[in-house]
């Protein structure tokens, strides 16, 4: 088998990811939670990010700050810009984690460097507030 040939586990995770995203977008959060778990466990940042959002907001599951932080961090550490922004906001607001302006700036900067204008705007607001 070549490196380019997906294993059944990888193709199953990709299918679960696609189905989970569709369920998330359709606001079928309980189904999305079930479908996104395996790809998140397999390191897929998109699944990790969406699980983080569901845990953070209590969508299809009881709000769980520890799980929200865990999954958001996992996705952000893989360089996913939306997760970097989300983690920065968590630190900025003290949501799911102890408030930490330095960590917020670090993660928001990473997202802004990838072109997220919302992150850039937050960084500009932080700078204005500190003058």
| CA–CA dist 6, 118 (Å, integer) | 36
Q: Where are the alpha helices (DSSP H) in the chain?
A: 8-25, 29-41, 45-57, 65-76, 81-93, 101-113, 117-129
* 11-34: average pLDDT: 93
Q: What is the pLDDT of residues 59-79, one digit of tens each?
A: 999 999 999 999 999 999 999
**pLDDT at site 47:** 98
Q: Does 2 score more than 90 pLDDT? A: no
| Mean pLDDT over each residue of the chain, to the nearest integer | 92
pLDDT of residue 5: 38
pLDDT of residue 22: 97
Say how far apart CA 56 and CA 124 lie, in whole Å.
25
pLDDT digits (tens, 9 = 90+) for 88-108: 999 999 999 999 999 999 999
- Of residues 128 and 44, more confidently modeled: 44
- Residue 130's pLDDT is 73
């Amino acid at each position: 088998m070549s490196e380019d040939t997906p294993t059944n586990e990888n193709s199953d995770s990709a299918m679960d990811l696609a189905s989970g995203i569709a369920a998330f977008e359709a606001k079928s959060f309980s189904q999305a939670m079930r479908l996104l778990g395996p790809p998140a466990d397999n390191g897929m940042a998109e699944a990790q990010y969406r699980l983080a959002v569901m845990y953070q907001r209590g969508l299809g599951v009881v709000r769980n700050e520890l799980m929200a932080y865990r999954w958001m961090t996992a996705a952000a550490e893989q360089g996913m810009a939306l997760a970097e922004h989300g983690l920065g906001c968590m630190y900025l607001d003290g949501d799911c984690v102890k408030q930490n302006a330095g960590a917020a700036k670090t993660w928001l900067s990473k997202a802004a460097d990838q072109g997220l204008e919302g992150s850039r705007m937050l960084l500009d607001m932080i700078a204005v507030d500190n003058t």
